[in-house]
Amino acid sequence: MSECESECQQSCSCTAYAYVNGTDGSTGKCLAWFGELQDLVETKIIAANDIRIRVHGSELGKKGVSVNSLKRTLVIAIVSAAVGLLTITSGYFLWKKKLGRITRTVSENLGGKNDTELPLFSLRSILAATNNFSEDNKLGEGGFGPVYKGILPGNQEVAVKRLSKKSGQGHHEFMNELKLIAKLQHTNLAHLMGCCTEGDELILIYEYMPNRSLDKFLFDPFEKTKLDWATRFRIIQGIAQGVLYIHKYSRLKIIHRDLKASNVLLDGMMNPKVSDFGMARIFDINQIEANTNKVVGTYGYMSPEYAVYGHFSGKLDVFSFGVLLLEIVSGKKNALFYSCENSQTLAQWIWQLWKEGRGVEVIDASVRETCRIHEALRCIHVGLLCVQEAPADRPTMSLVIHMLEAEEATSLPPSKEPAFSTSRNSSSVTTYSKNGVTITLPEPR
């Protein structure tokens, strides 16, 4: 063994050595390993009394490592690697199994016997349309994931909504949006053109909206000048028609639950299209209300009974529409009113001016001089009625549309103080949504 040690020490690349006794009286021999320890053949190790590995004395405090110690180290490494590989493999097959169920569900719901027959796009066609999801084609990103502009054969422009693996949403929201919006056809609802469930991708393909979403115009000091009063009033009426359709006239009775400016898309003519039905809930034809333990949506647009108790009905969408209507008229973002402690809500600020007879001051300064004042004031009145604290005090969407079209403001019922008044013992401000929307927690009267 000492001779083998001397030979190994003469080479800097020698990492291990052993002495193997001879058999049948033959002379023994040295075994040496150079570089990384590989090919530790079992028969060679057994034949040797010891295998010595060269290490720095400060690392182990001894000159050698016994074969048992080496074997134990190798066993631990092999077992760890096997467990890791098994975990990855199991996870992969569980994902594929779940994705397979989704794909089958898509086929069952959207193909064959279903009269909707939503097209299924191949991943290759989506990659070609978006230039491999190029950042140059990215339109924006929401809770579901990024949205890209794509160009299909025939130069048809589309919006490609790709589920992000980091998204808080997932398969349930994907299927929910597929099943719902594929069955909805209305001029004021975003049109779903198809989907892709190939590989590990979950993708929705929508008609392309060249003017993006309403919030990109409404809350930008430069872009809002493109929203004259006639355009704003048409947008208000279009949103109301879209919500009325899903509440009353579509094949499915639907509560949207996340109606806000960023979920209203604008086509080339600035016509509104309500989108993002991932949070929506289907009601039975005769069902009026429901409860949930999982409150979803954006705080500030939620009605009090939903935000606090998880109780919702069509009046939840009416409340959200009221907040959105007041944003459109005032040009002010609801979320900004929650950025400072003890600040008023948007509805509360408007209410204070309204009851003092200063409703004109609510109207966005960019359109105040050119708008039809009586029309704008009527919209403010309707918005305040929509954000009443008690659901029974809010109008239905049918009545909302009727009131918006009314010529005489005196025909509207008087409004009460809106919900979420910060004057009622609420001091803390809590952030709930990813886009920084906050709300003062309400207390029931």
The confidence band for 19, taking pLDDT boundaries of 50, 70 and 90, is confident
CA distances from 235 to 49, 167, 255, 270 (A): 88, 30, 20, 8
Residues 236 and 325: their CA atoms lie apart, in Å, by 6
**Over residues 202-213, mean pLDDT:** 92
Delimiting residues of CATH 3.30.200.20 domain(s) in the chain: 94-207
At 360, give phi and psi (nearest 5°).
-60, -30
The 10s digit of each residue's pLDDT in 251-303 is: 888 999 999 999 999 999 999 999 988 888 887 767 677 777 677 788 889 99
Where in the chain do CATH 1.10.510.10 domains reside? Answer: 214-440
Class of domain 94-207: alpha beta
Alpha-carbon separation of residue 348 from 205, 259, 353, 382, 412 (angstroms): 39, 20, 9, 14, 20
Separation of alpha carbons 382 and 319, rounded Å: 11
Cα of 385 vs its chain's centroid, Å: 31
162 strand-pairing partners: 203
Query: Which two tokens mark 402?
Result: 């009727």
The chain-wide mean pLDDT, for the chain, equals 79
Instruction: Pull the structure tokens for residue 194.
Output: 């198809």
Q: In this structure, what token pair is assigned to residue 72? A: 């134990």
Catalytic positions, written as ranges: 258
CA distance 225 to 223: 5
Distance, CA of 216 to CA of 261 (rounded, Å) = 9
130 alpha carbon, distance to own chain's centre: 20
Weakest mean pLDDT among 53-57, 202-206, 336-340, 376-380: 336-340
pTM across the whole model: 0.69
Residue 292: its pLDDT value, please? Answer: 77
- Output DSSP code: residue 442: P
In this prediction, residue 68 has a pLDDT band, given cuts at 50, 70 and 90, of low
Helix axes 397-405, 229-244, angle to 10 degrees: 150
Give one DSSP letter per residue of 217-250, joined into a string: HHT-TTGGGG--HHHHHHHHHHHHHHHHIIIIIS
Class of domain 214-440: mainly alpha
